[in-house]
């Protein structure tokens, strides 16, 4: 049973009001993080800023985890739930018109990870203030290298889900497709299994004026690119989902030289790991066969670690939906379709039940109209106290559910 003191401490209206009062502190943290975006496993200044805020709050933590990550905790004993935020930036030059623009040239928080970390810091502040009312432990995971580095896997391998064992985990992502003040999610598969690949098409170089003395890998690679699209068009159930995207082509340096080789890079997406493995197999087979038809050879290789699909456990989504409705109102919580973006939150939900949510940030008034990974991407900062309150309430609800 939930005692009256705990229920009063974690009343949704009260938590939201306190989160809004803390908004200047949360916003200041977000802007400090926004100015120093760092790429995967290089988030040293980012980690220092987060740790200084935790020190200010008197919150214990373990560092380093996964090179630059942090595992902090509030409360004591079991049960234990976890809240996760990613902290890395992207290799994008910022073009957003904000006074706190990136100071690191060629790097930007274009996916909102600065906001994620700031909201979790805000949650840390509110949770610490009512630590005596917690019915267990809340772990706060500040994770590096979400953007392709599988930092979530490293965090799991380094024990963040143990001692005490995590029984539920929650995370969220700012969502430019939803208006500020709304929350989205779903039970089951929410985000895609993701892999990246490189195909090297090798031929025989030569003078471009005498192509018959060469074996042209540019022509072969061009046919590989177009042939790969037949996988989705003719091999995948039209009612299923899959993505085969070639996103980079590199080969040759001069107009009059046929190069020795061409390199293709891209990404594969499916709503299941089995589907991802099928795509990988077929890309390998088609690339090899098409290249051979043009007297070339093709070598397929995966890049980095495959991400499994993010699968929200039904009970965790049900609880998260109720919490979100208590916070922003039932009409402002939506069940949204799965997306083909990848998220290494999947490494956590592969191990423990949990739920990943979408936090609306779209606002024409604040200029938050661009999608993630765009150089003009912005976050409507009015969403920060909502995300903070949502973190707090999710943790308290999950502890109560695990105690019951």
pLDDT digits (tens, 9 = 90+) for 265-305: 999 999 999 999 999 999 999 999 999 999 999 999 999 89
Q: Does pLDDT of 64 surpass 50?
A: yes
pLDDT of residue 311: 98
The CATH number of the domain covering residues in 4-192+309-403: 3.40.630.10
Are 225 and 246 contacting, i.e. CB atoms less than 8 angstroms apart?
yes
Q: By C-alpha distance, which of 162, 135, 155 is closest to 74?
A: 135
Checking if the pLDDT of 8 tops 90, the result is no
Q: Is 3.40.30.10 the CATH number for 195-307?
A: no
What is the average pLDDT across 179-188?
A: 98
> Domain coordinates of the chain in residue numbers?
4-192+309-403, 195-307
- 115: confidence class by pLDDT, cuts 50, 70, 90: very high
- Phi and psi for 372 in degrees, rounded to 5? -65, 155
Model pLDDT, residue 1: 46
Confidence band, pLDDT 50/70/90 cuts, at residue 9? confident
Count how many Cα atoms sit within 13 Å of the Cα of residue 26 in the half-sphere of its side chain: 28
User: Does pLDDT of 330 surpass 80?
Assistant: yes
Using pLDDT thresholds of 50, 70 and 90, give the confidence band for residue 7: low
pLDDT of 4 over the 60 cut:
no
pLDDT at position 245: 98
Residue range 62-77: average pLDDT? 98
What is the distance between the alpha carbons of residues 36 and 312, in angstroms, rounded to a whole number?
A: 32
Q: Which distant-in-sequence residues (6+ apart) come within 8 Å of 186 by Cβ? A: 312, 317, 335, 336, 337, 338
Distance CA 116, CA 143 (A): 10
pTM: 0.94
Report how far apart, in Å, the C-alpha atoms of 384 and of each of 100, 121, 160, 306, 354 are.
16, 11, 25, 31, 22
Segment 10-56, tens digit of pLDDT: 999 999 999 999 999 999 999 999 999 999 999 999 999 999 999 99
Residue 128 pLDDT greater than 60, yes or no: yes
pLDDT at 60: 98
Alpha helices (H) in 294-344, listed in sequence order: 314-328
**CA 285 to each of CA 251, 268, 292: distance values in angstroms, whole numbers, following the listed order:** 22, 15, 11
**Per-residue model confidence as pLDDT tens digits over 211-257:** 999 999 999 999 999 999 999 999 999 999 999 999 999 999 999 99
């Amino acid at each position: 049973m939930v005692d009256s003191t705990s229920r009063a401490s974690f009343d949704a209206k009260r938590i939201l009001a306190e989160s809004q009062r803390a908004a200047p502190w949360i916003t200041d943290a977000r802007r400090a993080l926004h100015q120093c975006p760092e790429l995967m496993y290089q988030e040293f200044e980012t980690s220092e800023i987060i740790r200084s805020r935790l020190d200010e709050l008197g919150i214990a933590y373990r560092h380093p985890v996964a090179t630059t990550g942090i595992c902090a905790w509030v409360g004591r004993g079991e049960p234990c739930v976890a809240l996760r935020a990613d902290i890395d930036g992207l290799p994008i030059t910022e073009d957003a018109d904000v006074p706190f623009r990136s100071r690191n040239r060629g790097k930007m928080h274009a996916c909102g990870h600065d906001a994620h970390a700031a909201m979790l810091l805000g949650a840390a502040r509110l949770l610490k203030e009512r630590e005596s009312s917690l019915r267990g432990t809340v772990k706060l995971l500040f994770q590096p290298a979400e953007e392709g580095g599988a930092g979530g896997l490293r965090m799991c391998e380094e024990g963040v889900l143990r001692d005490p064992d995590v029984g539920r985990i929650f995370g969220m992502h700012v969502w430019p497709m939803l208006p500020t003040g709304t929350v989205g999610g779903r039970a089951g598969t929410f985000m895609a299994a993701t892999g990246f690949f490189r195909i090297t098409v090798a031929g025989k170089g030569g003078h471009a004026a005498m192509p018959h003395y060469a074996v042209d890998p540019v022509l072969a690679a061009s046919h590989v690119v177009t042939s790969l699209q037949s996988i989705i068009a003719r091999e995948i159930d039209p009612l299923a989902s899959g993505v085969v995207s070639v996103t980079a082509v590199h080969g040759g340096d001069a107009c009059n030289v046929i190069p020795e080789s061409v390199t293709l890079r891209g990404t594969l997406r499916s709503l299941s790991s089995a589907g991802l493995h099928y795509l990988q197999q077929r890309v390998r087979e088609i690339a090899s066969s098409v290249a051979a038809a043009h007297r070339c050879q093709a070598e397929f290789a995966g890049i980095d670690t495959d991400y499994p699909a993010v699968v929200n456990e039904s009970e965790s989504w049900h609880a998260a939906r109720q919490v979100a409705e208590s916070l922003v109102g039932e009409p402002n919580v939506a069940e949204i379709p799965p997306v083909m973006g990848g998220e290494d939150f999947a490494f956590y939900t592969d191990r423990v039940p949990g739920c990943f949510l979408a936090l609306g940030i779209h606002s024409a008034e604040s200029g938050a109209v661009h999608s993630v990974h765009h150089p003009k991407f912005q976050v409507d900062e009015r969403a920060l106290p909502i995300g903070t309150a949502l973190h707090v309430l999710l943790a308290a609800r999950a502890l109560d559910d695990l105690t019951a």
